[in-house]
Structure 1
Amino acid sequence: GQDLRTHLHVHALVSCGGLDAQGNWRSPVRGSHFLFPVKAASRLFRGKFIGALVAAHKAGVLDRDPARNQAERARRLRALREHDWVVYAKPPAGGPAQVLDYLARYTHRVAISNDRILGIDNDEIRLRVRPGPDQRRRMVSLPAQDFIARFMRHVLPRGFKRIRHYGLLAPRHKGVRMAQARAALQVPEPQAPAIETAQAFLRRVSARDLQRCPHCHSGRWCAVEIYAPRTMRPAPIARMHPGARVRDGPP
């Protein structure tokens, strides 16, 4: 969440169709804009989750299972089966670009951005969070120890992948299958990524020209001479003969 509390969830991008065994593109039967019925997906996801939970218990890998005995586990499974699981699906209002921009916040940032940290007062850290019902920006204060603990929950353990690709984007077949999908859908090849200079990149991300003089606002900074780096030689270390003695006072 906005205050760094644990909020476990998974984002998945699914193509509306796929390739058959002959490499031809197959769209859903009900139309090019239909993927699968939401209610059926809810029941299927519930069954897969409960099946994985039961298998994990039988394999003995649920180290911190809150259910203490078989009766409690049976009541939990019965409640999970009776409860409606909700799968919400809708097309993005802004198209694929909006989806990629939204997911980039998860894949290229960890937990919180710098602009949401308002200040640090002694052992209290002030954060800006999502506006409340009155549409006013809210601020929360957390003890430094709690902030660090919540932040570290968002750091992935070793060997855990943040993004996984399947199907068309699976690393082993991506080159061949993506080419087949583009040919079947008559989509042109993507353009090569544009390579920009460091000055152009800084100008784009900072929204200001860093080569303009900050004092007169009209002059331009230019390189007059480039000095090669010089290595500093370490100072010689004075060594004393093992048999020498040090005298006190002037020689």
Structure 2
Amino acid sequence: MAGCGRTELADIFRLHGQGYLATHALARSQAKAWRAIVSCRTPALGGHVDQCAACGTTRHVYHSCRNRHCPRCQTRAKEQWIANRHRELLPVPYTHLVFTIPHALNGVASHHFRAITDILFASAAATLTAFGGNPRWLGGKLAFSLVLHTWSQSLMRHLHVHALVASGALTPDGQWVSSRRGFLFPVKALSKVFRGKFIDALTQAREQGRLNQDANTSDAAWRQLLRELRRHDWVVYAKQPLGGPAQVLEYLARYTHRVAISHERLVSMANGTVAFRVRDNANPGKKRIERLPAQQFIGRFLLHVLPLGFKRIRHYGILASVHKHRQLARCRQALAAPEPDAAIIETVDAFLRRVTGQALACCPHCGQPAMRLMEVVAPSRWHACSTGPP
């Protein structure tokens, strides 16, 4: 267990992992994430030993795994992402939207994850682009980013993308058109267009052979799936985040670097059962405790380990990488906004001082800036050579 009795994801893997692995095979990406999470900030990854020259206190510092699925490693990654994005933020309000696909697609997604999520990204982007380009609404090009989430609070599969959209558009003649205050596009109309674009793209993918024939895509199952998708309304959720540019970035970073479950949500692990907090839909604003057998909990978590090389954050419109710098410059000119400040690369010591209030050079016992490197700890041979969980 982690310090102070707190349950962490690595504890669950260590205690119940062998039982899970005895009956389940892991994808390569899952094995890599598993190994990283269990090894994170342990001697397996190497590190160093410091000693205080003033009082003699020693401190062991082990390396982080930096895996994007590790709950321990997202703070630093989030801060770096915010620093990189700060120069791309425009001095305008931003709108947060969520595009969700029905659970009826979960079966197909389990066999064709990349195809379904690519269609999700493309359909959401095409819907926003179409509305932004329509003179009835804005008549220009939007600046927006999409972030994929695959989970619900109880770790079931729940595919959706979060969109952060600058509330306005750049017209072809270089003017900035702002949306109405507190309103970007009508969500009911967005939902209908999104559903149509997704179903069209899904049908095309099947005709092109991108969805192989299996139990979920046989002719009969396919016809039933399309009926179900057309029968129900699809929901696009919209909310305008509050605050200035810095608050907007912090707001989006909650979604860009969130993992399926954080350590703060884990309550306990006892008698082969994991307890964790989830939102109580029956009582808005409150939490309830959900309990799962440990091996079932592990299986649900691994559902949300993304394939190797998969991009879960994608940028569109003005923010598309091909012409981003030129287009952002045109936006700033139209908004009479100054050029962004030069990027500042924060040191690890400065980051730790800001986030934790502690400095690397200061002794955790006496507080004197007298910590000195005493020993380098090399990574274990097992970690260097292993291709999967132990």
**CA distance, structure 1, for counterparts of residue 192 and residue 176 of structure 2:** 25
What are the Cα deviations for residues 21-60 of structure 1, in whole angstroms up to 9, with x where unaligned?
Answer: 44x12416x7576533333322211211221122123223
Q: Give the paired residue count.
A: 224
Unaligned runs of 5+ in 2: 1-151, 377-390
Question: Which one has a larger percent strand, Structure 1 or Structure 2?
Answer: 2
Q: Which moved more, 1:134-143 or 1:144-153?
A: 134-143
Q: Which moved more, 1:161-170 or 1:54-63?
A: 54-63
User: In the alignment, which residue of structure 1 is the partner of 2:320?
Assistant: 170
Structure-2-length-normalised TM-score: 0.48
**CA distance, structure 2, for counterparts of residue 33 and residue 127 of structure 1:** 35
8 Å Cα contact 1:5-1:150 kept in structure 2: yes
Residue from 294, 301, 310 that aligns with 1:160:
310
8 Å Cα contact 1:17-1:25 kept in structure 2: no
The structural deviation recorded for 1:14 is: 2.6
Instruction: Give 1:32-181 correspondences, 5 Å limit.
Output: 34-63=183-212, 64=214, 66=216, 68-69=218-219, 73-74=222-223, 76-94=225-243, 97-121=246-270, 123-131=272-280, 133=283, 137-181=287-331
After superposition, the CA RMSD in angstroms is 3.5
User: In the alignment, which residue of structure 2 is the partner of 1:2?
Assistant: 153
**3-state SS in 2 of match to 1:147:** helix
What are the Cα deviations for residues 133-169 of structure 1, in whole angstroms up to 9, with x where unaligned?
Answer: 2865422232222222111122110231011111111
The structural deviation recorded for 1:185 is: 0.7
Unaligned runs of 5+ in 1: 230-251
Structure-1-length-normalised TM-score: 0.71
**CA distance, structure 2, for counterparts of residue 137 and residue 47 of structure 1:** 35
Q: Which moved more, 1:97-106 or 1:166-175?
A: 97-106
**CA distance, structure 2, for counterparts of residue 16 and residue 213 of structure 1:** 46
**CA distance, structure 1, for counterparts of residue 274 and residue 172 of structure 2:** 56
**3-state SS in 2 of match to 1:159:** coil
User: In the alignment, which residue of structure 1 is the partner of 2:339?
Assistant: 189
Distance change in 2, residues 1:134/1:79 (3 Å): closer
Q: Which moved more, 1:8-17 or 1:93-102?
A: 93-102
The structural deviation recorded for 1:9 is: 0.5
Q: Which moved more, 1:121-130 or 1:43-52?
A: 121-130
User: In the alignment, which residue of structure 2 is the partner of 1:243?
Assistant: none
**3-state SS in 1 of match to 2:338:** coil
User: In the alignment, which residue of structure 2 is the partner of 1:221?
Assistant: 368
User: 1:111 corresponds to which letter in structure 2?
Assistant: A
